């Protein structure tokens, strides 16, 4: 049987989807399945919820890759699975320590109160730090595949677009607003910049907070690092948009998910990306036939109840089939759509993830189809 979803040619798999569709479980199962096949795999969750680590039996404070014991599941030689949960502040601190031009610059940034607040609270920092962690994992020669479990829907688009936004920031006046007269692109300060500095200076006089000095110290602390940020953003762009990266949209075959998924696919296209695969999770099991029910050696009352239940189940299957048809139609031509039947229980241990992995790879009840021409 041809595998339902082959990842053999990919270096990076990015799992995207709305909350509640089982995206984290699918990411963990994909990573486990590839490890079981004999590859060295890292799986990282950007979603702040720690469910991926729970599913893999790891502690929730796993900010660095931790080995997952593969006991109890069959695997080939060379198998290795590591998992981690993104810690944006720890990653930002590590980045500063690694790339600061001097010890003095490093300490000035880490002790700056603007930096301390920004590294923990500013919207978008998680996206930037996820990109940095991705590049760090990609630089490890011993890793064959990286699987990313992203935040739900809209935030995942922000993550994928983060490298472009980093480059836009570094090419804007923000990099020179409070720094030297010339900055990353050699721009001179303009009247609006001088006005902004004047507003902050006035605010400082009224409040006594010393905000202007802190902002100026923060920006100047990064002098000498801007080119490094830009270079890594370019590398991330190439990695996420390269031929060895696969974007997988995870969804379920429910009517309300169809429009949601269509909007998600459209958002990907708007930033110049296209999904390479779709996984439809938790589909209904196959139905018995009415003729099969009639042949069963059961009491007449029980057979009547089964026939009534069959009609209800048939209606559910018909609605699911409509949703699957709509999901297939929205995908690019020849894109694989993989259907994964419901496990029948919440995955609670590695064996459950292994069962889902086998279904994803076509080992049991997996289905691979292509979007009609």
Task: Give the homologous superfamily in CATH for domain 12-370.
Answer: P-loop containing nucleotide triphosphate hydrolases (3.40.50.300)
| Plot region of 344 (φ>0 → left; ψ -120 to 50 → alpha; else → beta) | left
Over residues 257-273, mean pLDDT: 92
- Distance from C-alpha of 66 to C-alpha of 84, rounded to nearest angstrom: 6
Please state the rounded mean pLDDT for residues 22-49: 92
Stretch 321-348: mean pLDDT: 91
Distance of CA 217 to CAs 84, 99, 111, Å? 33, 17, 10
Give pLDDT, residue 57.
81
Q: Where are the domains of the chain?
A: 12-370
Mean pLDDT across the chain: 81
DSSP H/E element including 300: helix 300-330
The backbone torsions φ and ψ at residue 198, rounded to the nearest 5 degrees and listed phi first, read -65, -40
Interior/surface letters 200-238, b for 16+ CB within 10 angstroms, e for the rest:
beeebeeeeeeebebbbbbbbbbeebbeebbebbebbbe
Beta strands in 47-197 (DSSP E): 66-67, 80-85, 145-149
Q: Yes or no: say if 79 and 39 are a contact pair by the CB < 8 Å rule.
A: yes
Question: Positive or negative, the Cα torsion across 30, 34, 37, 41?
Answer: negative
Q: Pull the structure tokens for residue 15.
A: 């799992």
Condensed to tens digits (0 to 9), the pLDDT of residues 179-216 reads 443 444 344 444 444 454 444 445 444 444 455 566 66
Q: Which two tokens stand for residue 27?
A: 């990411």
Q: Are 286 and 256 in contact (CB under 8 A)?
A: no
Residue 22 — left, alpha, or beta (φ > 0 → left; ψ -120 to 50 → alpha)? left
pLDDT of residue 303: 87
How far apart CA 338 and CA 304 sit, in angstroms, is 35
**pTM of the predicted protein model:** 0.82
> What residues pair up with 327 in beta bridges, in sequence order?
none
Among 9-23, 167-181, 326-340, the range scoring the smallest mean pLDDT is 167-181
pLDDT band at 119 (very low <50, low <70, confident <90, very high): confident
Q: How far is CA 112 from CA 90, 93, 215, 221, in A?
A: 16, 12, 9, 9
Question: What distance separates the 2 farthest-apart alpha carbons in the chain?
Answer: 89
The reported pLDDT for the residue numbered 112 is: 85
- pLDDT at position 257 is 94
Can you tell me the distance from the alpha carbon of 317 to that of 287, in angstroms, rounded to the nearest whole number?
9
Whether the per-residue pLDDT at 355 is higher than 70: the answer is: yes
Q: Which one is predicted more confidently, 218 or 234?
A: 234
Output the CA torsion sign for 248, 265, 154, 218: positive
State how far the Cα of 89 lies from the Cα of 217, in Å rounded to an integer. Answer: 19
Give the span between the Cα atoms of 373 and 368, in whole angstroms: 16
- Band (pLDDT 50/70/90 cuts) for residue 338 is very high
Element (H, E) at 159: helix 153-170
């Amino acid at each position: 049987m041809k595998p339902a979803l082959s990842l053999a040619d990919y270096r990076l798999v990015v799992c995207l989807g709305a909350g509640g569709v089982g995206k984290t479980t699918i990411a963990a199962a994909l990573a486990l399945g590839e490890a079981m096949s004999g590859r060295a795999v890292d799986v990282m969750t950007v979603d702040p919820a720690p469910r991926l680590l729970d599913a893999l039996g790891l502690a929730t404070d796993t900010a660095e890759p931790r080995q997952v014991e593969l006991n109890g599941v069959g695997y080939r030689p060379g198998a290795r699975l590591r998992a981690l949960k993104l810690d944006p502040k720890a990653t930002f601190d590590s980045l500063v320590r690694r790339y600061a031009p001097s010890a003095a610059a490093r300490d000035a940034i880490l002790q700056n109160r603007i930096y301390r607040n920004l590294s923990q609270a500013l919207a978008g920092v998680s996206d930037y730090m996820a990109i940095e962690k991705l590049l760090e994992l990609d630089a490890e020669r011993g890793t064959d595949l990286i699987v990313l479990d992203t935040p739900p829907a809209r935030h995942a688009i922000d993550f994928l677009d983060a490298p472009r936004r980093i480059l836009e920031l570094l090419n804007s006046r923000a990099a020179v607003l409070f720094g030297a007269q010339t900055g990353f692109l050699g721009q001179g300060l303009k009247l609006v910049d001088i006005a902004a500095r004047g507003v902050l200076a006035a605010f400082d006089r009224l409040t006594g907070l010393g905000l202007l000095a802190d902002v100026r110290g923060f920006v100047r602390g990064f002098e000498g690092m801007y080119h490094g940020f830009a270079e890594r953003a370019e590398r991330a762009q190439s990695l996420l948009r390269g031929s060895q990266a696969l974007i997988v949209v995870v969804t379920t075959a429910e009517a309300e998910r169809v429009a949601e998924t269509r909007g998600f696919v459209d958002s990907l296209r708007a930033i110049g990306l296209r999904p390479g695969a779709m996984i439809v999770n938790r589909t209904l099991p196959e139905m018995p036939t009415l003729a099969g029910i009639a042949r069963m050696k059961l009491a007449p009352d029980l057979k009547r109840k089964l026939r009534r239940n069959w009609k209800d189940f048939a209606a559910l299957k018909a609605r699911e089939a409509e949703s699957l048809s709509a999901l297939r139609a929205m995908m690019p031509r020849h894109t694989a759509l993989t259907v994964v039947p419901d496990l029948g229980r919440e995955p609670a241990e590695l064996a459950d993830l292994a069962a889902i992995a086998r279904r994803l790879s076509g080992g049991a009840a997996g289905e691979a189809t292509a979007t009609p021409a």
